[in-house]
Amino acid sequence: MAQIELNKFCQRQTADSRFSHFSGSWEELVGLVEAHFAEAKPGYKDGVVLVPVPAAGFFSGVVHLTPETELVARFQARREGEDPFVVLTAKGFKAPAAFVEVVVYRHDVLAENGENSTEAGWEIVSINARDSQEPEPQHPVSMARNMLGLMGGSSAQYKAEDFARAIIYWSTRAMVEPSK
């Protein structure tokens, strides 16, 4: 069994955030990932895996846009030290998840950019929960950050078709506006 712990970056995924979240404890999340780690699929690069877990207790931060959806735009960084960019959110509510994959990075991959939070062999970096079984591509800004090796990105290469699919997908969706 691989040693798995929580990366501090994942701790931003709370009920009050714009991100998908788990209603259980962080310890319960780690336990779910450990229990399902053998089912992991390769992620976008070596050393990144997607661990499917049961959807119960997870909520998706993605909102499907309509002409009536109220949007909010902010120019902000994901975290200190990274360049800011336009973050678009939508007024709405998180939906219960129908499908969940937890993104887990191997220690050496996180170490490339000094983004380890622990000494564990693997760290949970993100909860990707969605309200359907349809695959959800990475956000194009995240893909670009990775491809260009920008601060906060993990070196990766993508095909033009990957970018095109991500742009089309995210042109009709946004993260939910956090409640205040």
> What's the angle, vertex CA 15, arms to CA 9 and CA 20, rounded to 5?
60
Predicted pLDDT of residue 93: 92
Predicted pLDDT of residue 134: 87
Does the domain formed by 4-176 have CATH 3.30.43.10? no
CB 122 within 8 A of CB 108: no
Encode pLDDT of 39-76 as tens digits.
999 998 899 999 999 999 999 999 999 999 999 999 99
**Entry pTM:** 0.82
Flag whether pLDDT at 138 surpasses 80.
yes
Residue 168: closest CA among 144, 126, 139: 139
CB 90 within 8 A of CB 174: yes
Mean pLDDT, all residues of the chain? 92
**pLDDT band at residue 176, thresholds of 50, 70 and 90?**
very high
| Torsion over CA: 37, 145, 180, 6 (sign) | positive
Q: Is 51 exposed, middle or buried (0-12, 13-18, 19+ CB in 10 A)?
A: buried
- CB-CB neighbours of 31 under 10 Å: 14
Helices (H) and strands (E) in the chain, counts: 4, 12
DSSP single-letter state for residue 137? P
